[in-house]
Structure 1
């Protein structure tokens, strides 16, 4: 039972940490204050790194647990899983997206001189957003607790947090666009 509890807890807390990271990522890219931006990025990256450690723990615990029929091959062929194959596909795709974003994010500073990577950074970083959304879907499809009120509340809270961060950023950008300086610039461009 220990592995089962560990797998569930690590998966749920990983989803929460990725939600914190996603929410802060949305808020960070909209921030113009360098000090605030630094701290938002720091916590954003720390939450993502913690989420990756918990995700690794979740995967190892699930594969090690004898309660479900999930072998290490699920990481390359999730359709062959004996336990909820569609949910495993969603989970593995979430894993791929989150790991891709982490690898590229870790290399971003070292590769900042590359115009190609810098130009494509945002489109590559979308993998993290897709991975986060797929992880939410995985929690709704795969877990043994997926129908319980407490897990549904956590999942809906995760969705709500990212939606609220997105709404705040959109509202801030709209207000910034309506400032007199930006309106004057827009008038000159016409």
Structure 2
């Protein structure tokens, strides 16, 4: 990459609340400085619909609980030089993984049948197939940087991005922790 090239960044959310992306937006005016140094080439925050063939930094939020999540995580690992696991759901499964203590069929029945009074039914169209166990991202693909927090603060995300842009390996434990 030449000195004048911008770092390319891709983000997406898997199974989670999207709070980490909201913290990303909470960088407020720092976003202006950020976009002078990076090109956000894929994200729910931009209109791009296709993950580019080669991305410098990929950021995944959420855990892997469906076939769709699994496919996205594998695509990000394949196309991103550095993969960041952002937030407690991505790092350890967090709230989505709470269903791991129950049989998947029981969870689905509870959500779509037991608690429904009108037309109880399990959706079959437009809903990705659930995996039997929810996993953190590193449970399926290799991860280079782990950023805990629920969600990580805008300051923590800013720190990690600044370090990566500078070509350094960030130490997120210096600025965030689980549940912070």
Q: TM-score range with shorter-chain normalisation?
A: under 0.3
Please state which structure has a larger fraction of its residues in strand. 2
Task: With the length of structure 2 as denominator, give the TM-score of the two structures.
Answer: 0.26
Task: With the length of structure 1 as denominator, give the TM-score of the two structures.
Answer: 0.25
Please state which structure has a larger fraction of its residues in helix. 1
